[in-house]
């Protein structure tokens, strides 16, 4: 092997991902050195509670309670930020860059919200910032989009990029159970946080979609333009009726080039059972990217967890190591495109997006209701693909009516929903879920 000196790492955070990263770096040290051409050594690390007992081999690593001691350690070549959250992560990363250190991070919120600032700071000093672990854990979706699809005009991407949502929806689908019941189970199993809002309300998926959309289309990171919807309103009934119609309900992040702008949206959707993403279950993640040359490419794997996320952190460390001697302007750009070629393309408001819809109405069991419903939809030019009137539930006077529409602008659908909810025979709110064929 070449006699290059080891690359020295400072590690912020010894939690799940930090511990996993240390484990992988130690367990596979020889393999990693054989691939990277030099050894990768952690020389210092910080953790909030140094007294906490950890099942980690920390031999030879200088430990600090203050993360600044790691960031300012003159020995390190690369800072690995695995503490998560916005502050102090942002301040520490910027300080590391000011100190001339390359950065590897798994922090999706940080990249989605402060990535433009961080990458500008890195560029001005010719430094690399790598963040493969920020999206979809062990699945190399960032590398594939930045490098493997570099010849493609990317048309759209869709991903199951939040393991908590996918676990909950998979369990609802398999067992016909309700959202709140499965959420409680996910919390017991450690697949959902005590405060699950970040995941089940779609914010985490929104951060990840922000990053993927920027890589795909060469637009700045702009989380504020993503339309975000979570899965709290999905009921066991919807899951059951969707199944009968040949669909599964998945929580998707979608970015798509349209004639007048780019769609950026995160929401639950009915997906045809035979689509590859329909069969991604439990805490697994998958991303489908459609390029004009490659066609659809699907990546599937573990979207979270200590070791899968560590796999991506270490891949970034190897990438940075292999690229250390490249002129900075010849490297893989942080956001796939050279900064001066990035364009602030228009993004579409959610009202301007066109999809098919699943509607579930709880209707009074009276003559004329269906006629009212179909009249309202027809008046707005909304075509019906299928309509099912279901058996009355035992303890109610209402019958569920399920409608699949053809594609329609969301604004028109919202208008239809307002009119439908004004009918005295329909219980409000009605349930609507978008339908995505992913083609």
Residue 408 in contact with residue 377, Cβ under 8 Å?
no
> Which residue bears the tokens 């929104």?
206
Binding string, 34-53, against its own copies, x = CB under 8 A?
A: xxxx----------------
Segment near its own copies (CB under 8 A); pick from 200-208, 264-272, 331-339, 380-388:
331-339
Is the Cβ of residue 55 or residue 293 nearer to its own copies in the bound state?
293
Q: Which of 83, 336, 373, 401 binds its own copies (CB under 8 A)?
A: 336
Catalytically annotated residue among 108, 143, 208, 250? 208
Q: Which of 56, 63, 323, 390 binds its own copies (CB under 8 A)?
A: 323
User: What is the footprint of its own copies within residues 149-188 (CB under 8 A)?
Assistant: 149-153
User: What is the footprint of its own copies within residues 215-234 (CB under 8 A)?
Assistant: 218
Q: Which of 269, 318, 363, 413 binds its own copies (CB under 8 A)?
A: 318
> Which residue bears the tokens 């390029």?
291
From CA 74, how far away is CA 152, in angstroms rounded?
41
Is the Cβ of residue 329 or residue 395 nearer to its own copies in the bound state?
329
Does residue 268 touch its own copies according to CB under 8 A?
no
Does residue 337 touch its own copies according to CB under 8 A?
yes
**CB proximity list for 208: less than 8 A, separation 6 or greater:** 108, 112, 134, 135, 136, 159, 161, 162, 253
Is the Cβ of residue 115 or residue 308 nearer to its own copies in the bound state?
308
Is the Cβ of residue 55 or residue 371 nearer to its own copies in the bound state?
55
From CA 291, how far away is CA 215, in angstroms rounded?
13
User: What is the footprint of its own copies within residues 188-217 (CB under 8 A)?
Assistant: none
From CA 115, how far away is CA 102, in angstroms rounded?
14
Residue 63 three-state SS: strand
DSSP E strand stretches across 13-96: 40-46, 62-64, 78-81
Residue 220 three-state SS: coil
From CA 4, how far away is CA 115, in angstroms rounded?
32
Structure token digits, residue 313: 């952190």
Residue 71 in contact with residue 79, Cβ under 8 Å?
yes
- The least distance separating its own copies from the CB of residue 154, rounded to whole angstroms, comes to 9
85-93 contacts, C-beta under 8 A, 24 or more apart: 85/109, 85/110, 86/110, 86/113, 86/114, 89/12, 90/114, 90/118, 92/12, 92/67, 92/68, 93/118, 93/129
Does residue 429 touch its own copies according to CB under 8 A?
no
| Annotation marks residue 208 as catalytic | yes
Structure token digits, residue 320: 């940075």
Segment near its own copies (CB under 8 A); pick from 60-68, 164-172, 196-204, 302-310:
302-310
User: What is the footprint of its own copies within residues 3-22 (CB under 8 A)?
Assistant: 4, 20
- The least distance separating its own copies from the CB of residue 40, rounded to whole angstroms, comes to 9
From CA 17, how far away is CA 60, in angstroms rounded?
20
User: What is the footprint of its own copies within residues 89-148 (CB under 8 A)?
Assistant: 132, 138-140, 143-144, 146-148
Is the Cβ of residue 248 or residue 267 nearer to its own copies in the bound state?
248
Residue 404 in contact with residue 383, Cβ under 8 Å?
no
* Total of residues contacting its own copies (CB under 8 A): 73
Is the Cβ of residue 132 or residue 229 nearer to its own copies in the bound state?
132
Segment near its own copies (CB under 8 A); pick from 103-111, 291-299, 348-356, 371-379:
291-299
From CA 166, how far away is CA 154, in angstroms rounded?
25
Is residue 289 packed enough to be buried (19+ CB in 10 Å), middle (13-18) or exposed (0-12)?
Answer: buried
Segment near its own copies (CB under 8 A); pick from 53-61, 174-182, 337-345, 379-387:
337-345
Is the Cβ of residue 164 or residue 321 nearer to its own copies in the bound state?
321
- The least distance separating its own copies from the CB of residue 32, rounded to whole angstroms, comes to 6
- The least distance separating its own copies from the CB of residue 111, rounded to whole angstroms, comes to 18
Segment near its own copies (CB under 8 A); pick from 158-166, 233-241, 243-251, 320-328:
320-328
The residues carrying an active-site annotation are 208
């Amino acid at each position: 092997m070449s006699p290059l000196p080891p690359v020295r790492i400072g590690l912020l955070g010894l939690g799940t991902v930090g511990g996993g990263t240390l484990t992988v770096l130690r367990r596979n040290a020889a393999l990693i050195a054989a691939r990277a051409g030099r050894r990768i050594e952690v020389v210092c690390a910080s953790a909030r509670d140094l007294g906490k007992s950890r099942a980690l081999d920390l031999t030879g690593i200088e430990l600090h309670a203050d993360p600044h001691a790691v960031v300012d350690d003159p020995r390190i070549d690369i800072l690995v930020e695995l503490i998560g959250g916005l502050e102090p992560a942002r301040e520490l990363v910027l300080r590391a860059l000011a100190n001339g250190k390359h950065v590897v991070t798994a922090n999706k919120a940080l990249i989605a919200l402060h990535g433009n600032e961080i990458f500008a700071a890195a560029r001005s000093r010719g430094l690399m910032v790598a963040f493969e672990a920020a999206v979809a854990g062990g699945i190399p979706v960032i590398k594939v989009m930045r490098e493997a699809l570099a010849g493609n005009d990317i048309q759209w991407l869709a991903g199951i990029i939040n393991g908590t949502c996918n676990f909950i929806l998979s369990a609802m689908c398999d067992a016909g159970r309700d959202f709140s019941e499965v959420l409680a189970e996910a919390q017991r199993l450690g697949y959902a946080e005590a405060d699950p809002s970040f995941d089940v309300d779609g914010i985490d998926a929104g951060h990840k979609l922000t990053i993927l959309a920027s890589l795909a289309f060469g637009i700045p990171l702009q989380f504020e333009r993503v339309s975000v919807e979570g899965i709290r309103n999905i009921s066991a009934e919807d899951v059951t009726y969707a199944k009968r119609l040949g669909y599964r309900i998945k929580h998707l992040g979608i970015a798509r080039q349209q004639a007048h702008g780019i769609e950026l949206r995160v929401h639950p959707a009915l997906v045809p059972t035979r689509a590859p993403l329909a069969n991604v279950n439990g805490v697994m993640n998958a991303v489908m990217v459609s390029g004009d040359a490659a066609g659809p490419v699907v990546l599937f794997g573990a979207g979270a967890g200590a070791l899968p996320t560590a796999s991506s952190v270490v891949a970034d460390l190897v990438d940075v190591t292999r690229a250390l001697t490249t002129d900075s302007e010849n490297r893989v750009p942080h956001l796939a495109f050279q900064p001066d070629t990035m364009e602030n393309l228009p993004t579409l408001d959610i009202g301007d997006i066109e999809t098919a819809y699943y509607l579930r109405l709880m209707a009074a069991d009276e003559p004329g209701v269906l006629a009212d419903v179909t009249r309202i939809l027809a008046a707005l030019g909304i075509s019906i693909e299928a309509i099912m009137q279901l058996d009355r539930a035992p303890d109610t006077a209402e019958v569920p009516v399920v409608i699949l529409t053809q594609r329609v602008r969301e604004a028109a659908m919202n208008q239809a929903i307002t009119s439908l909810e004004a009918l005295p025979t329909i219980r409000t709110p009605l349930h609507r879920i978008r339908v995505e064929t992913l083609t």
